[in-house]
Structure 1
Amino acid sequence: MNLCSIASGSSGNCTFVGSEHTKLLIDAGISGKKIENGLSSIDISPQDIQGILITHEHSDHIQGLGVLARRYHTPIYGTAETINAIVRTKNVGRIAEELLHYVVPDESFFINDIQVDPFSTSHDASNSVCYTFQAGGHKVGMATDLGTFDEYIISKLSGSEILLMEANHDENMLLVGGYPYYLKQRILGDRGHLSNENSARLICRLFHEKLKHITLAHLSRENNYEELAYETVRAELNQIIDDKTTGLLLSVAKREEASEMLSIG
């Protein structure tokens, strides 16, 4: 299985996940043109995308959705509440009803050879979810827009060999920064975003000997930076593993361009 972040951050998110037979996008939060360019940079045609799975309806996850769906007639997957919210979003435009497919948290389904498992998240959106993907005996897990995590989240992501994990903000940067008080409280709350520190704690709970790639994602432009997220998570991991012997690779997803393609199996 393969994973590649096409774009990641508070300004827009889009991720490619694929197997030998199936190519999917998770979210479409940048322009259709940028998604096309990002896919082209990893030698994938937008016509070959067999589904777009949406985590929730916030603009940084659906900005290019309408354009892609109309241009390539690509099926869209999301919870009923998420899809209903998208349909009501004017700047997405009209999407043909036959392209809309409802998913239910904790009910797995297949898109060709990939088993997709949606699971609930605590973000402040309409029944938001994240996804894990399994094919050929391998598992890829994604978790962004988490206000918090618990044993349920851990159980859903457990066994992933590639993880794309939110590390949205540094708590100190957020607290002393220029955001208004209500926004700081939203981000720090249980329905907000995962900090570098909490991301590191969750990753340590998920570590196992077959976990080979971790990509930190959805970094805030104002309240984080790549080196800080990386070093915060690396410091926690170093307390429980020796990456020289485990072969675990830690990276940070690029904000506005495709990152390295990660493969397992």
Structure 2
Amino acid sequence: MKSKILSLVLAFYFVLALSACSSGGNSPSPTLSPSPTPTTTTDSPDLPDSETIDKISVEMKLDATLLQAIVTIKNDSDYVFNGTIPVRFENNRGESCGDDIIFVEDLKPGNYTYARINLTNVSNNPALYYDFFSTSFEEGAPSSGGELNEDASAEITESFDIGFGGAGNPEYATSWYPSCVKIEIFNAENSAYATVTVKDDSTEEAISRIGNAIFGNYAKDYGLSKVTLITESGEEVFTREG
């Protein structure tokens, strides 16, 4: 009889032990959702509805050779962006394969920055999770209100034609050069900026090529703080600051 009672007691404690083990397991670690909503926003001007965190893109490309994630952050807004972006990666088995925090400072309109992050247990297509913290948008360089600099406008127009337009010979011009209608340089209070007019039917590639070519070749020599492209109908289609 005593043996049977002892067996029942031991069985009871065994069940309790199993219950304790099942309730004390590790809870899943929190993940970062690819959310366009900033957790904290500071020092931002009154932005129009179109100027939100949605204009900040975060994309990833896998460098399979170095086992690194290349995370690119681009600012498509009209304001200078600052913020902290924690990123986390999961492989196709749902396992964590890397994480880091990217600090973005003074990312000007039209510009981008990137970070390389080492990965482990990587799959062919790791998933990227991210969020925004302590974000802010600030006014950038002026793009209006300056005085037209006719000499600088003529010089850049001529140089741009020689370098990319075949010096008047269409046979040697780039495919995107004909989309450029007019280049104007304006002197603002403490800097200069370029306003470039392109055809209404310009492709995205032509717009990007023209804007980056002008910024890359003339921003330093002419002190350009900003290059803006507008169509003949007045739509702004490209902005890059330096």
Question: TM-score normalised by the shorter chain: which range applies?
Answer: under 0.3
| TM-score, structure 1 as length reference | 0.21
Higher helix share: 1
Higher strand share: 2
Which of the pair has more CA radius of gyration?
2
